[in-house]
Amino acid sequence: KRASREFHPERTVVSVPTAGGTVEIGGEGPLVCMAGPCSVESEAMILETAHRVKAAGARILRGGAYKPRTSPYDFQGHGESALELLAAARTATGLAIVTEVMDTSDLEAIAEVADIVQVGARNMQNYSLLKKVGQQPKPVLLKRAFSATIDEWLLAAEYILAAGNPNVILCERGIRTFDRQYTRNTLDLAAVPVLRSITHLPVIVDPSHGTGLSQFVESCSKAAVAIGADGLMIEVHPDPARALSDGPQCLTPDEFDAAMANLAPIALAV
Ligand code: PEP
Ligand code: MN
């Protein structure tokens, strides 16, 4: 299999060119943080968030334009106009952009703005989408589905690799287990060293969706870094109480700044 270490013994390094220099994810490179709101809500909020996460040390701005919401009555994202706001934030800050594609018909427009195209947990086994993101040149962030085994996840990555795109980043974002009382999902941190032993692809951790609660994001980020994650994806919102999606798990910019400072010594030690 193309994702295996037998096929490719050296770890893959995904290079993302940005105005502020190339960001490398994987290999021996430094920890890379992707941060930003769950959804792009307005020009003011995305620009403010972008400037704040950049100042705190993030290299990549996240933000959804097309949102895979569990309920059809919840905010679905601003779509195309949100892509324009992400492009503006990219120009203003030099941050790279990661944003989700849900439908093959939006891929071209998304890949024009995104430096990394995200495939969300709900689409991890959308094989026609995987083939299409595999046929375009931007790196792909592949989130783990709620109930996917590690082998199912790697086979999903295999679709992208087999279609011709070697730049796949795996993202552990919590899985569905029997207990949802205290956390939204169960963050499977053991998946990180397991994946590092069987695949050359970079592995990042999303403790925001992994726990669902902002109060646990910093501690799980520290654990993710200590256990060998190549990067983190963290939701940050200027006013989480008013967020249109995932407010309870968003850090404020101040909280994110403090978390990044507290993560630095752990990242240096591993
Ligand atoms: C997201 O990152 O905004 C998201 C919807 O995550 P997931 O696909 O992991 O639920
Ligand atoms: Mn979210």
> Does residue 260 lie in a domain region?
yes
> pLDDT (tens digit, 9 = 90+) per residue, 169-213?
999 999 999 999 999 999 999 999 999 999 999 999 999 999 999
User: Cβ < 6 Å from ligand 1: which residues?
Assistant: 38, 64, 68, 120-122, 143, 173, 209
- pLDDT value of residue 27: 83
- pLDDT value of residue 79: 98
- pLDDT value of residue 138: 98
> Does residue 6 lie in a domain region?
no
> Does residue 7 lie in a domain region?
no
Q: How far is the CA of 209 from the centre of ligand 2 (A)?
A: 6
> Does residue 89 lie in a domain region?
yes
Q: How far is the CA of 9 from the centre of ligand 2 (A)?
A: 34
Residue to mutate, 184, 204, 206, ligand 1, most ligand atoms under 8 Å from C-beta: 206
| Domain tally, the chain | 1
**What separation in angstroms does the CA of 92 have from each of 42, 80, 130, 258?**
15, 19, 31, 23
> Does residue 191 lie in a domain region?
yes
Atom of ligand 1 nearest to the CA of 122: 8
Residue to mutate, 173, 176, 250, ligand 1, most ligand atoms under 8 Å from C-beta: 173
> Does residue 205 lie in a domain region?
yes
Which residues form the domain of 202? 14-67+74-269
Q: How far is the CA of 121 from the centre of ligand 1 (A)?
A: 6
Residue to mutate, 74, 117, 209, ligand 1, most ligand atoms under 8 Å from C-beta: 209
> Does residue 1 lie in a domain region?
no
Which value, in Å, is the radius of gyration of the alpha carbons in the chain?
17
**Spatial contact of 63 and 46, defined as CB atoms under 8 Å apart:** yes
**Spatial contact of 11 and 167, defined as CB atoms under 8 Å apart:** no
Q: How far is the CA of 209 from the centre of ligand 1 (A)?
A: 7
> pLDDT (tens digit, 9 = 90+) per residue, 217-238?
999 999 999 999 999 999 999 9
Assessment of whether the complete model's pTM goes beyond 0.95: yes
- Give the sign of the dihedral formed by CA 120, CA 201, CA 235, CA 106: negative
Q: How far is the CA of 8 from the centre of ligand 2 (A)?
A: 33
Q: What is the largest CA-CA distance in the chain?
A: 48
Q: What share of the chain is helix, strand, coil (3-state, %, to 5)?
A: 40, 20, 40
Q: Which ligand is nearest to the CA of 174?
A: 1
- pLDDT value of residue 48: 98
CATH number of domain containing 192: 3.20.20.70
SS3 154: helix
Give the pLDDT means over successive 10-residue stretches in the chain (270 positions): 97 95 92 98 98 98 98 98 98 98 98 98 98 98 98 98 98 96 97 98 98 98 98 98 98 98 96
What DSSP character marks residue 186?
B
The alpha carbon torsion through 120, 123, 125, 129 (nearest 10 deg) reads -100
Q: How far is the CA of 6 from the centre of ligand 1 (A)?
A: 31
Q: Whose CA is nearest to atom 3 of ligand 1?
A: 38
Atom of ligand 1 nearest to the CA of 233: 2
> Does residue 172 lie in a domain region?
yes
Atom of ligand 1 nearest to the CA of 171: 9
